[in-house]
A and B are shown apart, each in its own frame.
Chain A
Amino acid sequence: MSLVVDSIVKKFERFPALNGVSLEAPQGAFLALVGPSGSGKTTLLRILGGLEFPDSGSVRFADLNWLDVPARDRRAGFVFQQYALFKHMTVEKNIAFGLTVRTKKLRPPKEEIARRVEELLALVQLEGYNKRYPSQLSGGQKQRVALARALAIEPRMLLLDEPFGALDAKVRKELRGWLRSIHERMGITTVFVTHDQEEAFALADLVAVMNAGKIEQYGTPADVRRAPKTPFVADFLEIHAGI
């Protein structure tokens, strides 16, 4: 069930957003994508989620040709930068959504869904928020609902696009530790996009430093720190270490 991304190229019009991206990660890995704005992080994540298709290259995951699996069948839990919660649904409806839309054959019974929603609310520490609407939540709470919604479908892969981007440093730290513990408990292969290299290095097993549609360096946080492969990576680490 490892993830193998091989030579992905994706062009918008003529502009290459991804220019030959390859990486491998073992099952259950926590992988961070870092890099400057416009380097292609979101594009890669969307390809993994099936929301975008590459012009060439391949992805293997769960022993499947992942690109042939339609987005709806991938069971890839996607947490969007802008939350993308369903505004017209309560928190519990949002979380249950991925289960209630299943065909009758695959849909768990009502009580089971309700039980799972409660479990997830407890997990994201939002017990008692069942009947709230997204507009009645703070940014961090919305983020956690979005995560619970993604987890409800028992994802095979968790994709997070700068999930803590809009939050202040303190809440970020809190959620970060908590995300890591969820990952440890569930062991879902997780790809995490962030601007914040400190966050990436603190959280991830593997870090990919991206620049202009390419991966400059890929390895464990310790390796990347110790031996930056290119001047770009060294620069990137330095600039961001200063902040």
Chain B
Amino acid sequence: MRFRRYPTQDHPLTRIGLSLIAIGVVTLFLLLPLATVFTEALRQGFAMAWDALKDPDARAAVRLTLLTAAIAVPLNAIFGIAASWAIAKFDFRGKQFLTTLIDLPFSISPVVSGLIYVLIFGLQGWFGESLRDANIKIIFALPGIVLATIFVTFPFVARELIPLMEDQGRDEEEAATSLGVAGNRDSDPQIPSRMALRGRHRRDAPALKANPCLWSSTPSSKSSSASRR
């Protein structure tokens, strides 16, 4: 009786050992930095921290953060949904390529993407002079920050959605079609290759049109290793 375990359950020592390691890592790398932020910020009391927030620079920083999020989140939601829909529900040429592109921000160091960003938009970069002549500021300005944020966070939406959509499968959609729902699957059997290029049916034309935006979204000058995996 004492040793009764579920067949899939590990030895108690293994379980305790693994748990301790996990707790240790979480504490060291997640909880401690968080705690430090708060202790440092509140070291001289709430009033002092509150005063610091009144500082125009601090306010501008907060505003900038919120504004960036307000732009990046909806855009990522739209592109992410479009891309995962295309990948999970349709077969088309270049699907594997698209999947790889979506993961790109995870595999490229933000430092490298920042450098590329400078090479493209910086003064010495490809578009540097023409941008300056047109009086458009991208790098070290709001557009640059927004582009960087979008690039770094792009995979999050798609990576969450693709497994979910793939798991749901196409069965229910096919059932709906056979029950008379319009707009599903192209009715023209003669042009499978064109269908493949278009992503098989009309509805994901927008998805594929939206995708070039993924490719042109640009890496950042500001590198935040915190957002890397």
* Chain A residues within 8 Å of B, Cβ to Cβ: 49-51, 53-54, 67-68, 70-78, 80, 82, 84-87, 97-98, 101-102, 149-150, 153
Contact = CB atoms under 8 A, between A and B. Distances in A.
B107 to A, nearest CB: 30
Contacts of B184: 71-72
Contacts of A77: 178
Given A78-B174, A84-B172, A86-B172, A51 B179 contact: no
Interface of B: 171-172, 174-182, 184-185, 187, 189, 192
Nearest to A149: B179
Contacts of B171: 80, 82, 84
Given A53-B192, A84-B172, A86-B172, A70 B187 contact: yes
Nearest to A159: B178
Among the interface residues A71, A73, A150, which one has the most CB atoms of the partner chain B within 10 A? A71
A98 B78 CA distance: 30
B189 A80 contact: no
5 contacts: A50-B177, A71-B177, A78-B178, A85-B172, A86-B172
Q: Which of A68, A72, A73 is packed against the most chain B CB atoms within 10 Å?
A: A72
A235 B38 CA distance: 77
B178 A74 contact: yes
A71 B189 contact: no
Nearest to A146: B175
Contacts of B182: 72
Contacts of B177: 50-51, 71-72
A76 B178 CA distance: 6
Contacts of B185: 50-51, 70-71
Nearest to A46: B174
Nearest to A102: B180
Nearest to A72: B180
A67 B189 CA distance: 8
A101 to B, nearest CB: 5
Contacts of A53: 189, 192
What are the 8 tightest A-B residue pairs by CB atom distance, in nearest-first order? A53-B189, A70-B187, A98-B179, A84-B171, A78-B178, A84-B175, A71-B177, A72-B180
Nearest to B180: A72
A68 to B, nearest CB: 8
A150 B185 CA distance: 19
Contacts of B187: 50, 68, 70-71
A153 B179 contact: yes
B174 A153 contact: no
B99 to A, nearest CB: 20
B189 A54 contact: yes
Nearest to A76: B178
B180 A80 contact: no
Given A71-B184, A84-B172, A49 B189 contact: no
A149 B181 CA distance: 14
A153 B176 CA distance: 12
Given A51-B185, A78-B174, 18 more contacts: A50-B177, A50-B178, A51-B174, A51-B177, A51-B178, A53-B192, A54-B189, A71-B184, A71-B185, A72-B180, A72-B182, A75-B180, A77-B178, A80-B175, A84-B174, A85-B175, A86-B172, A97-B176
A73 B177 CA distance: 9
B202 to A, nearest CB: 12
Contact of B178 (A49, A85, A87): A49
A47 to B, nearest CB: 10
A234 B174 CA distance: 36
Contact of B175 (A70, A74, A78): A78
B174 A80 contact: yes
Contact of A86 (B175, B180, B192): B175
Contacts of A150: 178-179
A61 B193 CA distance: 27
A51 B171 CA distance: 10
Interface centre among B176, B179, B182, by most A CB within 10 Å? B179
B219 to A, nearest CB: 37
B194 to A, nearest CB: 13
